[in-house]
Amino acid sequence: MTPLSSRRAFLGTAAAATLVARRALSDDGRPPVARPRATAFDARIEPDWEERLVVTCGPAGSDVEGFGARPIQAAIDLVAGQGGGTVRLGPGRHVLRAAVRLRSGVRVEGCGADTVITKIPCHESGLAEDSDWYDREITLAPGHGFRVGDSICLRATNPHDGGPLVFKRLLVARSGDRFKLDRALRENVWSSGKPIVQALFPLLWGEEIEGFAVENLHLDGDRARNPELDGNHAGCIFLQDCRDVAIRGVEARNNHGDGISFQICHDVVVEGCTSRDHSGLGLHPGSGSQRPLMRGNTLSGNAIGIFFCWGVKNGLAEENDCTGNGVGISIGHRDTDNLVRSNRISESTTTGLLFRPERGASFCGHRNRIEENRFADNGGEAAAVIDVQGGTEEVAIVGNTISESRGAAGRVGIRLGAETRAIRLDGNTITGVATPIERLS
């Protein structure tokens, strides 16, 4: 895949925040910005600069030479410190011992399949001593194999209430088996909770940043040599509390967890990506994420292709190919006012599109529109291709094509649960199933 290195391509990704802001200024009655200037503390409006800072990283002759987390991080931090621009990763295989932290205003670009980012196989250790909630250090058992600069995941049981504890930290200093952490624990980690430290982390990680892009990279989570860390904590790409993001032309594969996960992130564009063969979710627009745009992606071999988590609103999933997942697309907990349009959902082992039952009608995914999608050969012999469960209300399912070539058996085209309300069915074509539409009572 050719890197998107032209001036106009860059402006279409890293400057997404600017474009959104300009549209908002025009829509609310204020005059549009016809002659933008760079003005102090104005992060929304800038001129279309003909040249921006580019720092290369990787092979000999790059601005920052070397492969792995440290060279990439050095290049990203350099560009961020200069006010933003592009980090261009050359061909090669980057094997990480730590998560690469993305930064505001920085576009990270690779050379497609020639730029691969992966991680070391997971190893783990117990703790030799307890740590209290105010501690910023841990002591590992001898023979652990961890180094300063490593990312870790510390998992334990809360000694007070029995709930799970998960910490992601960086080892920043060492004396023997004692390691200083980049941040305090803020929870008690005692031997009674059976704590374990693992070399688990997202490959690319962004937290509380904005206006950045990731493009034309191949990310390999090495699923076979790493235990699961779910999409609330990691993924090939994991974002938390971010906004105005562009992810384009990325292949994320083989992670023991999610492919691309973003939690409480707004105006995220995921376009032209492949996310495949994960034990978790291909695309995970996570809790509270507003206005995600997922277009033209390929999701295959995952537990779920696209998973709308909690409170995902005003999103668009369009022209994606969801093939061979457990569930093609899943919508649930207060995921409202989303549009799922012109996708191809095929060969799902459980169901093509699921509206989850949740905990009652007030928790369900209302006012979503499912339009002009193509469903082919989804689910088992008694499954529904589109299964609307719980107290889901005011959903429009219109103009979709549902086909089945494996034999009708007990298959259902569209199943509406007994508690569903105001589900509009219009113009759907359903062939090859035993029961086109089933309304439970």
Taking the alpha carbons of 342, 346, 349, 350 in that order, is the dihedral positive or negative? positive
Is there a single domain that holds both residue 319 and residue 185?
Answer: no
Place of tokens 């745009």: 293
Is there a single domain that holds both residue 342 and residue 379?
Answer: yes
Residue 6 lies in a domain: no
Collapse the DSSP code of 104 into the 3-class scheme (helix H, G, I; strand E, B; otherwise coil) and give the result.
coil
The pLDDT value given to residue 26: 53
Is there a single domain that holds both residue 139 and residue 109?
Answer: no
Residue 274 lies in a domain: yes
pLDDT in tens, 76-128: 999 999 999 999 999 999 999 999 999 999 999 999 999 999 999 999 999 99
Q: Please name which of 279, 277, 334, 327 lies closest in space to residue 307, comparing C-alpha atoms.
A: 327
Q: Rounded distance, CA 323 to CA 352, Å? A: 9
Max Cα separation, the chain? 69
CATH number at residue 151: 2.40.30
Collapse the DSSP code of 9 into the 3-class scheme (helix H, G, I; strand E, B; otherwise coil) and give the result.
helix
* Contact between 281 and 255 (Cβ < 8 Å): no
Residue 325's contacts (CB-CB under 8 Å, 6 or more residues apart) are 282, 299, 300, 301, 302, 303, 304, 305, 348, 349
Is there a single domain that holds both residue 73 and residue 144?
Answer: no
Is there a single domain that holds both residue 81 and residue 230?
Answer: yes
Residue 410's contacts (CB-CB under 8 Å, 6 or more residues apart) are 381, 382, 434, 435
Q: What's the pTM value of the predicted model, to 2 decimals?
A: 0.92
Q: Rounded distance, CA 210 to CA 105, Å? A: 7
The pLDDT value given to residue 2: 39
Tell me the two tokens of residue 101. 């932290």
Place of tokens 């261009």: 88
Is there a single domain that holds both residue 283 and residue 338?
Answer: yes
Last residue of a domain, one of 165, 198, 231: 198
Residue 7 lies in a domain: no
The residues facing 240 across adjacent strands are 207, 263
SS3 content of the chain, % helix, strand, coil (to 5): 10, 40, 50
Residue 13 lies in a domain: no
Could you list the residue range(s) of the whole structural domain that residue 192 is in?
124-198
Place of tokens 């061979």: 324
Question: What does each of the 441 residues of the chain score in pLDDT, given as a tens digit?
Answer: 334 444 444 445 444 444 444 444 556 789 999 899 999 988 788 888 889 999 999 999 999 999 999 999 999 999 999 999 999 999 999 999 999 999 999 999 999 999 999 999 999 999 999 999 999 999 999 999 999 999 999 999 999 999 999 999 999 999 999 999 999 999 999 999 999 999 999 999 999 999 999 999 999 999 999 999 999 999 999 999 999 999 999 999 999 999 999 999 999 999 999 999 999 999 999 999 999 999 999 999 999 999 999 999 999 999 999 999 999 999 999 999 999 999 999 999 999 999 999 999 999 999 999 999 999 999 999 999 999 999 999 999 999 999 999 999 999 999 999 999 999 999 999 999 999 999 999
Is there a single domain that holds both residue 205 and residue 192?
Answer: no
Tell me the two tokens of residue 227. 């235990």
Residue 106 lies in a domain: yes
Residue 44 lies in a domain: no
The pLDDT value given to residue 324: 98
Tell me the two tokens of residue 366. 């209302």
Last residue of a domain, one of 198, 219, 235: 198
CATH number at residue 373: 2.160.20.10
The pLDDT value given to residue 42: 86
* Contact between 30 and 72 (Cβ < 8 Å): no
Last residue of a domain, one of 175, 198, 221: 198
Q: Rounded distance, CA 340 to CA 165, Å? A: 35
* Contact between 401 and 413 (Cβ < 8 Å): no
Residue 9 lies in a domain: no
Q: Cα–chain-centroid distance for residue 255? A: 12
Is there a single domain that holds both residue 76 and residue 184?
Answer: no
Is there a single domain that holds both residue 243 and residue 353?
Answer: yes
Is there a single domain that holds both residue 90 and residue 214?
Answer: yes
pLDDT in tens, 383-392: 999 999 999 9
Residue 178 lies in a domain: yes
The pLDDT value given to residue 43: 76
- The domain total for the chain is 2
Cα angle for residues 208, 109, 287 (degrees, 5° grid): 35
Residue 235's Cβ-side half-sphere holds a number of Cα atoms within 13 Å equal to 26
Residue 329's contacts (CB-CB under 8 Å, 6 or more residues apart) are 304, 305, 306, 307, 308, 317, 322, 340, 343, 345, 352, 353, 354
Is there a single domain that holds both residue 206 and residue 191?
Answer: no
Q: Please name which of 338, 339, 340 lies closest in space to residue 328, comparing C-alpha atoms.
A: 340
Tell me the two tokens of residue 129. 């001593």
Is there a single domain that holds both residue 208 and residue 301?
Answer: yes
Q: Please name which of 381, 385, 382, 422 lies closest in space to residue 402, comparing C-alpha atoms.
A: 385
